A and B are shown apart, each in its own frame.
Chain A
Amino acid sequence: MLLRITFWAALVLTFSLHLHAQDAKADKLVGVWEPSNGKARVKVEKIGTKYYGKIVWLREPIDPNTGAAKVDKNNPDESMRTVPLKGYRMLKDFTYAGNGEWTEGTIYDPESGSTYNCVIKLKDDNTLDIRGYVGVKALGRTDVWKRLQIQ
């Protein structure tokens, strides 16, 4: 009887440790990241079971044409063109697929108003490959994002 209880306890413990380790790997996406062009910084956070990234810093936050803070002026929905770019969620709905990869998400390009399918690959703890594509993953473009180090 004692052996059976010990066996089940060990099984449950192993399973929960495995889940915890998976969560820890998945949460490596959480943080503030800078795209290669250095124009913005994107904070990735977890909401529910998925990951979302929003712009938290812009190198040029003011629209030279209006003199006001930049807004999502290229949004296909005219009624949402007053959404501020600072705070805009450009990465949406990523789920952890294992092996340092997040899939099923989209990336929005505020400069064109276009949304692309996207996969994110963790190259190392501080580097991401962000691949945006339309339809076929092979026909896309990869950008390298660096984690912003907190001083």
Chain B
Amino acid sequence: MKVLLPITLLSLALLLSCGEARVVRFQTGELALTAEGPLFEGSNTLTATYTPALEAFLKAQGASLADLQEARLVRASLSAADDSTLALINQVTLSMVADQAEMQELAVLNPLPQGVKAIELGIAQDQKTVADFLRQASCTFVADANLLRDLNANLTLTGTFEFDLTLQ
């Protein structure tokens, strides 16, 4: 009995120290993805540089960057000031890039529905390096949008992106 008690306590302590992984939702807020005009029919690149400030977010969750095991994009929404803007576009592919991480396509919508002011992209199943993007001081959201005709102006879409972060 005297031997069993310390072993039980030690096992309990080990279990508690390992802890179970938990998932928290991280949102970017609204980002302006912009391509400078004039733009030509076909594929055009809209970008938004983003500062994740993940450390502060995780601190508020009682965690740190070291606790971040995995990140997955779970929602990608794009909207425009009016429905005529999205009517110009028939396909969008969303990627992320960063200096210290490899580019990855994370979402797509092909074709876009017509007559709408906002769209939800289909999310990629295979996501490999998303946590690496969010760990950077800065990363870039890239939307490759296929324009149906030339546009003699800048093109801006508002993006909001949500990630599930797995924390240890």
| Stretch in contact with the other chain, from B12-20, B24-32, B91-99, B157-165 | B91-99
Whether A83 lies near B108 (C-beta < 8 A) is yes
Q: Are B142 and A87 in contact (CB under 8 A)?
A: no
CA distance A54 to B44 in the complex (A): 10
Contact A49 B45 (CB under 8 A): no
A43 to B40, CA, bound (A): 13
The interface residues of chain B, by DSSP majority, are classed as strand
Q: Which residues of A contact B61 (CB under 8 A)?
A: none
Interface size class of B (residues with CB under 8 A): 20 to 34
**Which residues of chain A are within 8 angstroms of B110 by Cβ–Cβ distance?**
71, 82-84
- In whole angstroms, how far apart are the Cα atoms of A93 and B97 in the complex? 8
What's the nearest-Cβ distance from chain A to residue B108, in Å?
Answer: 5
B122 within 8 A of A: yes
Please judge, given known A-B contacts A80-B108, A83-B110, whether A47 and B124 are in contact too, CB under 8 Å: no
| Residue from the list B123, B140, B144 in contact with A48, Cβ < 8 A | B140
- Residues of chain B within 8 A (CB-CB) of A77 are 124-126
**A121 interface residue per 8 A CB criterion:** no
**Chain B hits for A56, CB < 8 A:** 42-43
Q: Which residues of the other chain, A, contact B146 by a CB distance below 8 angstroms?
A: 84, 86-87
Chain B residues contacting A92 (CB-CB under 8 Å) are 102-103
A79 to B142, alpha carbons, bound, how many Å? Answer: 19
With both chains docked as a complex, state the minimum distance between the C-beta of A32 and any C-beta of chain B, in angstroms: 11
B89-140 CB contacts (< 8 Å) to partner A = 91, 93, 95, 97-99, 102-103, 105, 108, 110, 122-126, 140
Q: Are B123 and A79 in contact (CB under 8 A)?
A: yes
Interface status of A38 (Cβ within 8 A of chain B): no
* Cβ contacts under 8 Å, B123 to chain A: 79
Inter-chain CA distance A82–B146, complex, in Å, is 13
Complex interface: chain A residues within 8 A of B122 (CB): 79, 82
| CA gap between A86 and B45 in the complex, in Å | 13
How near does chain B come to A84, taking the closest CB pair, in angstroms? 5
Contact B45 A45 (CB under 8 A): yes
From B47, B95, B108, B126, name the one whose CB has the most chain A CB atoms within 10 angstroms.
B108
Bitwise, A40-71 to B at CB < 8 A (1) or not (0) is 00010101111010111100000000000001
What CA separation (Å) do A91 and B98 show in the bound complex?
15
Q: Which residues of B contact A (CB under 8 A)?
A: 42-43, 45, 47, 91, 93, 95, 97-99, 102-103, 105, 108, 110, 122-126, 140, 142, 144, 146
